[in-house]
Structures are given as C-alpha cells and as structure tokens.
Amino acid sequence: MGLALACAAAAAVLTGCSTEEATCGGGEYPVLAVGGTGSACVPNGEEPPEGYTRYPKGKVPEHVGDEWDTYWQTHTVDKDGNVVEVREGR
C-alpha cells in the first residue's frame, strides 16, 4: 500500500499533475453570471453569453476552492459592472 502511494506521488510530480481542479478546461476561460453567483466556461476567443460577464481583472478564479472561487460565492457583478455582495438565496 505504501509503495503504491509513493509511486502515485512520484508520478504526479514527474508529470506535473495537480490535485487542484481547474475552474475551466484548457482553451476556456471562466465567466460570472451578472447579478448571481453562477459561472460558466467560454471558449477562448469568444465573448461571454448574454447574462454573463468576464471576472474583473486580477479577481479570476483559477482552481475550485481558491481565494477567488470562494470570494465569488458571496459576491457578484451587477448590471452596471459594480462588484456587490450577494443577498442570501441568489
């Protein structure tokens, strides 16, 4: 059992694998629902769909559970582009 765990850890280090789950897959970027805490992934080079916007520069979540992913669970961007706290239940 210990040998199997050591081999798995060594393989992760050698291949550059990460235990962090990326917010979006390769070739995509995350977008935020306007007025809510929902999010989606959009192919690079495409604009966000209606009802979504890009995250403010420097506040983009990269991995599930990172600082910005956690922050955007209680904040959003309103229709005027202002960052606001989300009321409970949104």
Check if the beta carbon of residue 51 is closer than 8 Å to that of residue 34. yes
Q: Using CA atoms, how far apart are residues 13 and 3, in angstroms rounded to an integer?
A: 15
Identify the helix (H) or strand (E) that includes residue 59: none
Determine the 3-state secondary structure of 53 from DSSP: strand
Q: Is position 8 within any domain?
A: no
- The domain in which residue 56 lies consists of 22-85
Q: Is position 59 within any domain?
A: yes
Domain count, the chain: 1
Burial status of residue 67 (CB atoms within 10 A of its CB: 0-12, 13-18, 19 or more): exposed
Q: What is the pTM of this model?
A: 0.74
Q: Is position 1 within any domain?
A: no
Chain centre distance of CA 10: 27
Q: Is position 62 within any domain?
A: yes
Q: Spell out the per-residue pLDDT of the chain, length 90, in tens.
A: 544 444 444 444 444 455 689 999 999 999 999 999 999 999 999 999 999 999 999 999 999 999 999 999 999 999 999 999 998 755
Determine the 3-state secondary structure of 42 from DSSP: strand
